[in-house]
Amino acid sequence: MTYQTDGILLIDKDEGETSYDVVRKVKSALDIKKVGHAGTLDPFATGLLIILIGQGTKLSSFIMSNKKSYVATLRLGTETDTLDRTGKVIKTSTVPELSKEYIREKVCAFQGEIEQTPPVYSAIKLKGARAYKLARRGEEVFLEKRRVLISALDIVSVSLPDVCLEVECSSGTYIRSLAADLGVSLGTGGHLVSLRRTACGPFSVDKAQRSRDVGRQSFETLQEGMIPLISVLTWIPQIEISRPIAKAIRLGKRSALSEIVRDLNQDCETSGLIKLICSGELVAVLKANTGRRDGHGRLEILRVFS
C-alpha cells in the first residue's frame, strides 16, 4: 500500500496545547520528519490548525494569505497586559447595562479596513527578538499600526459582561487587539476570554480531526484525513503542462516558462498566482506579473514540487 508523505491535515486544536505540541504529535504519529503548521493558535485558543506535511510545508504562505473566521468572546470591564485571559489584570471598571443596539453600533464601526496595533505579547520580531520576549523582560515594546480587513463582524450573543462575536478577517489580524479596541470603544475596556478558529479559506474546522485523538488514532486513519498537494490550492487557477516541461521546471530551467506563456491569454494583462499541473500532480506555483505583454519576465517561480 502506498502512503502519502506530502499534503496537509486539518486539526481541531484543543485548549491548553501549543501549535507546536500538535505538530510534534503528528510528526510522531506519522513518523514524518518534515511537519509544520499554517497560522499559530495561542494555547488558550481552539479550532482549526492546518498541519503541513512533507512538501506541504511549501504551501504555508499561500494558505495563510486566506481570510480566516473565528468565534470570539470579549469580557468587558477588565483589561490585561496580554489582551486575553492569560495575562495580568492592569485595569478594571464597572460595566453598565449596555443595550444590544448600542453594542451593535460600536461593533459596526470596526467592519471594513481598519488600523490596529498588534499586541506587545505577540511573535512579531522587533530588534531581532520576538516582541513577547522583550515584553517579558520588561523592555519597552513599540509596534506600528497595521491595516487589516474585517470583512464580517456579527454579534452572536450578549450576556454582560461577555459579548460573543463572529469574525471574518484578513491574514495578519489580531483578534485580541480587536477585542481590546472594542472594549475601549464601549467605554469599559475588555479582554479576550475565548477564541475559536472555525475556518481558513476553504478549509473548515467541521472537517478537522480532534487533536486529542492524534496519537490514539491509527496511522491509516491519519493518512485517510490527509489532503494531497494537488487538492489544497483550489482557489488558484491552473495550467496543465506536459511531462517534458514539468521535468524542466523541476530541474530549474527557466527556458521552459516560454512554453507556459503561450498558454496564457496574450490579450489581457494576466496577474496573480498560477498552478502548474502534470498528470494529476502539482508541479509548481508561479506568479504572473502585470503590465508585460511580450512574455518576458512575466512569470516568477515561487515554489516547485518534486
Three-state SS for 167?
strand
Query: Per residue in 4-33, pLDDT tens?
Result: 889 999 999 999 999 999 999 999 999 999
Residue 252 pLDDT: 87
Three-state SS for 74?
strand
Domain covering 68-200 in this structure, CATH number: 3.30.2350.10
Segment holding 257, helix H or strand E: helix 257-261
Residue with the bigger pLDDT between 265 and 239: it is 239
Residue with the bigger pLDDT between 189 and 217: it is 189
pLDDT at 305 over 90: yes
Planar angle of CA 162, 168, 170, nearest 5 degrees: 125
Q: Which distant-in-sequence residues (6+ apart) come within 8 Å of 152 by Cβ?
A: 111, 166, 167, 168
Name the nearest CA neighbour of 44 among 199, 176, 178, 201: 176
- What is the average pLDDT score of the chain? 90
Residue 265 pLDDT: 52
- State the cell numbers at 43: 494555547
Summarize the confidence of residues 272-278 as an average pLDDT.
92
Residue 267 pLDDT: 37
Query: Per residue in 44-89, pLDDT tens?
Result: 999 999 999 999 999 999 999 999 999 999 999 999 999 999 999 9
Summarize the confidence of residues 215-230 as an average pLDDT.
88
Instruction: Label residue 266 by pLDDT band (50, 70, 90).
Output: very low
Q: Which distant-in-sequence residues (6+ apart) come within 8 Å of 74 by Cβ?
A: 162, 163, 164, 165, 179, 182, 183, 190, 191, 192, 193
How is the chain split into domains, by residue range?
7-65+205-228, 68-200, 238-304
The end-to-end CA distance of the chain, in Å, is 21
Query: Per residue in 90-123, pLDDT tens?
Result: 999 999 999 999 999 999 999 999 999 988 878 7
- Exposure string of 197-228, with b = 16+ CB inside 10 Å and e = fewer, is bbbbbebebeebbebeebeebeeeebbebbbe
Summarize the confidence of residues 260-267 as an average pLDDT.
58
From the candidate CATH numbers 3.30.360.10, 3.40.50.720, 3.30.2350.10, 3.40.50.2000, the one assigned to the domain spanning 7-65+205-228: 3.30.2350.10
Catalytic residue IDs: 42
Three-state SS for 166?
strand
In the block, cell 516560454 appears at 258
pLDDT at 147 over 80: yes
Above pLDDT 70, what percent of the chain? 93
**Residue 257 CA: distances (Å) to CA of 19, 187, 262, 267, 302:** 38, 58, 9, 18, 13
pLDDT at 261 over 90: no
- State the cell numbers at 188: 469599559
Residue 152 pLDDT: 97
Residue 194 pLDDT: 98
- State the cell numbers at 285: 506555483
d(Cα 198, Cα 206) in Å, to the nearest integer? 8
- Report the relative pairing of strands 89-92 and 78-80 from DSSP bridges: antiparallel
Verify cis geometry, omega within 30 degrees of 0, for the bond prior to 96: no
Task: Let me know if 122 is exposed, middle or buried by CB neighbors in 10 A (0-12, 13-18, 19+).
Answer: buried
Summarize the confidence of residues 170-185 as an average pLDDT.
96
Three-state SS for 7?
strand
